[in-house]
Amino acid sequence: MKKRTLYLLILPGLLFLTIFMIIPIALTIGSTFVPEGGFSFQGYLQFFTDDYFRSILFTTLQVSLVTTVACIILGFPAAYYISKLGPRKKVILLLLTIFPLLTSPVVRSFSWMVILGKNGLLNNILLSIGLRQEPLEILYSPTAVMIGLIHLFLPLIIITLVGVLENIDHDLLRAAESLGASKVEAFRKVVLPLCVPGLMIGSILVFVGSFTAYTTPALLGGKQRVISTFLYQNAITLNDWYLASIIATIMIVVTFAIITLMNKAAKKLNPKG
What is the model's pLDDT at position 248?
92
Q: Are 41 and 249 in contact (CB under 8 A)?
A: no
CA distance 18 to 181: 53
pLDDT at position 272? 56
Does residue 263 contact residue 200 with C-beta atoms inside 8 Å?
yes
H helix intervals, 85-141 = 87-98, 105-116, 121-128
pTM summary value: 0.87
* Of the candidates 254, 241, 266, the residue with the CA atom closest to the CA atom of residue 65: 254
Q: How many residues are present in the chain?
A: 273
Residue 227: exposed, middle, or buried by beta-carbon count in 10 A (0-12, 13-18, 19+)? buried
* pLDDT at site 74: 94
Q: Locate the domains of the chain by residue range.
A: 52-269
- Residue 165 makes CB contacts below 8 A (sequence gap 6+) with 79, 80, 83, 191, 195, 198
The CATH superfamily label for domain 52-269 reads MetI-like (1.10.3720.10)
User: What was the pLDDT predicted at 217?
Assistant: 92
102: which DSSP letter?
Answer: G
| 141 φ/ψ sector (left φ>0, alpha ψ -120 to 50, else beta) | beta
pLDDT score recorded for residue 247: 92
Among 148, 140, 126, 144, CA closest to 222? 140
Distance CA 24, CA 30 (A): 10
Q: List the chain residues with pLDDT less than 50.
A: none
Residue 113's Cβ-count burial label (10 Å; 0-12, 13-18, 19+) is middle
| Inter-residue contact 33 to 41 (CB < 8 Å) | yes
* The pLDDT value given to residue 269: 66
Single-letter amino acid code for the residue at 89: K
CA distances (Å), 151 to each of 4, 12, 37, 179, 206, in order? Answer: 46, 37, 45, 41, 11
Please give the Cα distance from 96 to 85 (Å, whole number): 14
Answer for the pair 177, 183: CB distance below 8 angstroms, yes or no.
yes
